[in-house]
Amino acid sequence: MRNIISGNEAIALSFSDSGGVFASGYPGTPSTETLEEVARLGRVYCEWAPNEKVALEAAIGASIAGGRALATMKHVGVNVAADALLTLTYTGVNAGLVLMVADDPAMPSSQNEQDSRNYAKFAKVPLLDPADSQEAYDFVREGFDLSERFDTPVMLRTTTRISHAKGVVTPRERIEPKIAPWARDVPKYVMLPNFARIRHVTVEERLLALQEFAETTSLNRVEPRDRSLGIIASGVCYQHVMEACPTASVLKLGLAHPLPAGKIREFAGAVDRLMIVEEMDGIFEEQIRAMGIRVDIGKDKIPLCGEVSADIIRAAIGESVAVATSPVENLPQRPPTFCPGCAHRGLFTILSKLKAFVSGDIGCYTLGALPPMNAMHSCICMGASVSAAHGMAKVNEIAERSEKPVAVIGDSTFFHSGMTGLLSMAYNNPNALVVIMDNRTTGMTGGQENPGSGKLLQGSEARQVDMVTLVKALGIDQVAEFNSYHLAEAEAAIRKGLETPGPYVLIDKNPCILRYRVQRPIRVVNQDACTGCRACLKVACVALGLTAGGEKPKVRIDPNICNGCSVCAQLCKFDAISES
């Protein structure tokens, strides 16, 4: 039956249809829905891991034990899992193993724009690059076949426009899962130097065999059309090429690593001008130039940053791009912001007031860096809030500065990789404050379960890890809870944390209002009492607004949007905001 589904849903469906046995991953846009869909389909065991390294390692274990395994993550997740990946390539697999990684060109939801194809080259593993939902479906099955045939992990790489774009998919005949014998093969799976030296040779031989395969596989196909222009592309770039240059000849690469040198040489020789269209890095171009093949149009015209579009391709071949009208200028921006009623609003209102240096982390709370809060001063990667605050504290100590850095991190990010940083704090004793916003969900990616939420991926009951117990177990003695909705209490707690020497942890346990559907009585502004001083507007809540007209417009609260948290009311010196 034909469905119109996203690339992520197609991958999940194909995994369930292709003898999949075990899936694990960590939420991360744009990869998240893949594992959620495996759970919704309900045919294959799947779970959230606390981070991507754990997810991939669990998938390796599943493969060794004989079950086809899938690990899912976003591009930066592979950095976390890279330690496992770079040696997994040596051991190879028992049952097939596919690592699905979702890149995020133009970064609608990421902290960098890294190109995962580099990892395939680095790890010397095959990489499949689907161009739509149907290929996403087909390439999962192809990936398992390749994995088992060549004894290798296979990377299945998507980009945001593949993961989230919906297209028509016709599923194939379902393959029942078969569990292979649990492999006991010491020289293959125990990577002591003596065994690893032998396996490295195997890796190089495998890559040569894969190169031969790349020459003949239907994954890489030539679409001969007009010979004056030949274009090499993979993934969503192929679709943009088809929009921009429907008459050009195309070499479409489904297997984006290793490249078919012979096929490329033949294609290049058959066209007048050769163009390479690839998003982000010039990985194909670099390799194709190294083969001694002339590239006429490539990264000189196709940007290294951001997304490729049909218009960019048209401009690159010198076609004029029709611009109907230019965008209307000077409109108020509409950036993402804390939800009305979010617990982070109170915390950042206080941190902004105290002018503390905030070492931030990945999650909804990163939005605290934006105006008018301006209350975050660094944010690098998952877990870095704690470790970076530690480093700052040590330099402060050396420089004899009294200021104490504040790390802000959420529960899921803390479980992911904040815990080890905090262990270092317990061990190395910095003068730093850590605030854990334990809202019991993985909020920014849409509210996924985690070890602190008390629920499994499927929604069934699970052991709920207690944050205070965990922090104490890591060796931190000074731990206190606070309530960020109560500004005076929160300020007193944070001041105490800043004034007490040594590592200090504050935990806010208010749940995510979006995930847990919290609604408190909404607030109203007494228009007679409001002086229009705008003190409440500092909380940056979209429920607030100024009434039109007048010399000093007054504040009103939109009853359709207010969540009743009362943080704005606590900033009003004239008691003009109350429960309705």
- Interacting residues toward another protein by CB under 8 A: 2-4, 29-30, 108-109, 132, 160-161, 164-168, 236, 239-240, 242-243, 309-311, 322-328, 331-339, 364, 367, 371-372, 444-446, 534, 537-546, 548, 558, 560-561
* 3-state SS class at 219: coil
* 68-74 and 97-103 strand pairing: parallel
Q: Would you say 132 or 438 has its CB closer to another protein?
A: 132
Q: Would you say 96 or 230 has its CB closer to another protein?
A: 230
Q: Would you say 474 or 512 has its CB closer to another protein?
A: 512
As a whole number of angstroms, the distance between CA 299 and CA 476 comes to 51
Q: Would you say 42 or 372 has its CB closer to another protein?
A: 372
Bridge partners, 273 (sequence order) = 229
Q: Are 544 and 557 in contact (CB under 8 A)?
A: yes
Q: CA angle at residue 61 from 455 to 77, to 5 degrees?
A: 65
Q: Would you say 231 or 444 has its CB closer to another protein?
A: 444
Indicate the angle between helix axes 7-17 and 33-41, nearest 10 degrees. 40
Q: Would you say 326 or 402 has its CB closer to another protein?
A: 326
Question: From the CB of 35, what's the least distance to another protein, in Å?
Answer: 15
Across the beta sheet with 226-234, the strand order is 220-223, 248-253, 226-234, 273-277
- 265 burial (CB, 10 Å; 0-12 / 13-18 / 19+) is middle
Question: From the CB of 449, what's the least distance to another protein, in Å?
Answer: 18
Q: Give yes or no for a cis peptide into 258 (omega within 30° of 0).
A: yes
As a whole number of angstroms, the distance between CA 443 and CA 514 comes to 8
Question: From the CB of 293, what's the least distance to another protein, in Å?
Answer: 26
Residues in CB range of 381: below 8 A, 6 or more apart: 76, 79, 111, 362
Q: Would you say 352 or 417 has its CB closer to another protein?
A: 352
Question: From the CB of 109, what's the least distance to another protein, in Å?
Answer: 3
The secondary structure element, H or E, covering residue 390 is helix 384-398
Question: In 438-546, where do the E strands start and end?
Answer: 479-482, 504-508, 523-525, 544-546
Query: CA separation (Å) from 238 to 126, 222, 242, 452, 522?
Result: 19, 12, 6, 42, 50
Question: From the CB of 33, what's the least distance to another protein, in Å?
Answer: 8
Question: From the CB of 324, what's the least distance to another protein, in Å?
Answer: 3
Q: Would you say 121 or 538 has its CB closer to another protein?
A: 538
Q: Are 95 and 180 in contact (CB under 8 A)?
A: yes
Q: Would you say 6 or 359 has its CB closer to another protein?
A: 6
Question: From the CB of 287, what's the least distance to another protein, in Å?
Answer: 25
Tokens 């190879």 belong to which residue? 92
